């Protein structure tokens, strides 16, 4: 994998940065927070016009067929500007359908590319757990369909979605269901989140899904969860990098004891750690997304990226708050927008502990001797 963007990716990155810098200002983010819908339909429509939604969809489904690393670049920029649009769930769901869905299930992809169909991911359980081994939503066969009963939580972008993809257990095995967001028996309750974004808890009360809308097996769920973790890690890396830049700019201007506070070594150490964390998260997310695009195993890489982003990107945003001092903690100042979102994203699509468990299980599953490099007996 080339860690640097190629010519096409660099062009997409520059175009996206210019567009979002002009269109997705902190004022727009604040307006979305105040609005009951908690998102910007106008911004999402512009994104669809620019072709971002079809960028990495297969050509036979109305897309451009570009590598997934192009989306990695986009999610980084979307995170930088905290874009209040349902891009994450829509892209993760669409790519999963493109890879694993039947022709009938893939029929919604052209509408996704045009911005007419939006997908929410109902994966995280009511207790907040993010694991294929912890699915609590149950499905039972009835006639030519499946009946779903149970609950999900932290379903981002559900209110603005037209479809949802839900993970559930069918005959003791994982499966995915593609359903309309207004399906009978499906109810949603808006959540009040740290990010003040669009998120909901869902209750499935006898929701009927045609058998033709079911994607059975562990592999499709694993792909969806890896994509979700990797893309959210890329988004978090972009947000942390922007928070770092804002803090560095402030440290150059804020004068204390006769000099800019950026001249103090303590501030310089904080800024260096912040930048290392944001850059590291970006590299790990890019590697995971590249592997997913190439069809290579990427569960460990996606887990590494999200675990690292959860800790280091949140630490970067926390340090950015501290560099700003008291002003960074008041609502009228923009800096807190980045902290609140990254703090919320750190608990979605898997916590650091959950992803570390995945990495640890993979390491322990390797054959060969294990060297601890610590004395087991006191000398």
Q: Is the Cβ–Cβ distance between 85 and 37 less than 8 Å?
A: no
Task: Give the pLDDT band of residue 277 (cuts 50, 70, 90).
Answer: very high
45-63, pLDDT tens digit by residue?
A: 999 999 999 999 999 999 9
pLDDT in tens, 162-199: 999 999 999 999 999 999 999 999 999 999 999 999 99
Claim to verify: residue 191 and residue 128 sit in the same structural domain: yes
End-to-end CA distance of the chain: 45
- Residues 201 and 255 both lie in one domain: no
pTM of the predicted model as reported, rounded to 2 decimal places: 0.94
CATH code of the domain containing 31: 1.10.540.10
**Which of 117, 133, 168 corresponds to the end of one domain?**
117
Residue 372: predicted pLDDT: 55
Backbone φ/ψ region at 151: left (φ over 0), alpha (ψ -120 to 50), beta: beta
Percentages (nearest 5) of helix, strand, coil residues in the chain: 55, 15, 30
Neighbours of 28 (CB within 10 A): 18
User: Above 80 in pLDDT, residue 7?
Assistant: yes
Residue 243's nearest CA partner among 340, 158, 170, 159 is 340
Q: Are residues 161 and 267 in the same domain?
A: no
Query: Does 234 share its domain with 345?
Result: yes
- Banded model confidence at residue 3, pLDDT cuts 50, 70, 90: confident
How far apart CA 288 and CA 1 sit, in angstroms, is 10
Mean pLDDT for 237-262 is 97
CA distance 232 to 236: 6
Nearest to 358 by CA among 162, 129, 151, 172: 129
99 falls within a domain: yes
Residue where a domain stops, chosen among 176, 199, 216 = 216
The per-residue pLDDT for 154 is 96
Phi, psi of 10 (to 5 degrees): -65, -40
- Whether 113 and 124 map to the same domain: the answer is no
One domain for residues 248 and 355 = yes
Same-domain pairing of 177 and 85: no
CA distance 275 to 237: 10
Angle, in degrees to the nearest 10, between helices 87-100 and 218-253: 150
* Same domain, yes or no: 359 and 263: yes
Q: Domain total for the chain?
A: 3
Segment 90-100, tens digit of pLDDT: 999 999 999 99
Same domain, 284 and 187: no
- Rounded to the nearest angstrom, the gap between the alpha carbon of residue 274 and the centroid of all alpha carbons in its chain is 20
Whether residue 210 is found in the same domain as residue 332: no
- The domain containing residue 212 runs over which residues? 120-216
Pair 223, 360 in one domain: yes
Q: Is residue 130 part of a domain?
A: yes
pLDDT for 54: 98
Same domain (yes/no): 73, 175: no
Q: For residue 207, what is the domain's CATH number?
A: 2.40.110.10
Question: 295: domain CATH number?
Answer: 1.20.140.10
Domain membership of residue 369 (yes or no) is: no
The answer to whether the beta carbons of residues 311 and 268 sit under 8 Å apart is: no
85, 101, 117 - which closes a domain: 117
Percent of the chain with pLDDT over 90: 92
């Amino acid at each position: 994998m080339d860690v640097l963007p190629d010519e096409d990716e660099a062009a997409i990155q520059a175009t996206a940065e210019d567009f979002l810098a002009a269109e997705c200002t902190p004022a727009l983010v604040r307006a979305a927070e105040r609005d009951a819908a908690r998102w910007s339909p106008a911004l999402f429509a512009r994104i669809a016009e620019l072709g971002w939604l079809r960028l990495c969809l297969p050509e036979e489904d109305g897309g451009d067929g570009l590598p997934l690393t192009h989306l990695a670049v986009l999610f980084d920029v979307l995170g930088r500007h905290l874009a209040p649009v349902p891009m994450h769930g829509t892209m993760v769901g669409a790519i999963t359908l493109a890879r694993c869905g039947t022709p009938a299930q893939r029929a919604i992809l052209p509408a996704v590319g045009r911005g007419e169909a939006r997908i929410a991911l109902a994966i995280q359980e009511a207790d907040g757990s993010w694991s294929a081994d912890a699915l609590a939503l149950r499905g039972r066969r009835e006639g030519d369909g499946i009946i779903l009963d149970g609950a999900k939580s932290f379903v981002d972008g559900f209110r603005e979605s037209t479809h949802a993809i839900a993970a559930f257990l069918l005959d003791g095995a994982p499966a995915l269901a593609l359903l309309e967001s207004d399906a009978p028996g499906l109810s949603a309750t808006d959540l009040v989140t740290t990010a003040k974004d669009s998120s909901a808890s869902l209750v499935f009360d006898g929701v009927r899904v045609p058998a033709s809308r079911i994607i059975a097996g562990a592999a499709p769920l694993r792909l969806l969860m890896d994509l979700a973790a990797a893309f959210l890690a890329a988004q978090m890396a972009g947000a942390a990098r922007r928070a770092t830049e804002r803090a560095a700019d402030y440290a150059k201007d804020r004068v204390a004891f006769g000099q800019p506070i950026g001249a103090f070594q303590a501030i310089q150490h904080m800024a260096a750690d912040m930048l290392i964390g944001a850059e590291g998260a970006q590299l790990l997310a890019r590697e995971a997304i590249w592997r997913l695009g190439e069809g290579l195993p990427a569960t460990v890489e996606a887990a590494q990226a999200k675990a690292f982003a959860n800790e280091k990107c949140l630490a970067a945003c926390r340090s950015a708050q501290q560099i700003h001092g008291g002003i960074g903690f008041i609502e009228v100042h923009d800096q807190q927008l980045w902290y609140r979102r990254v703090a919320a994203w750190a608990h979605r699509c898997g916590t650091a502990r959950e992803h570390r468990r995945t990495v640890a299980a993979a390491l322990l599953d390797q054959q060969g001797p294990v060297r601890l490099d610590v004395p087991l007996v006191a000398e």
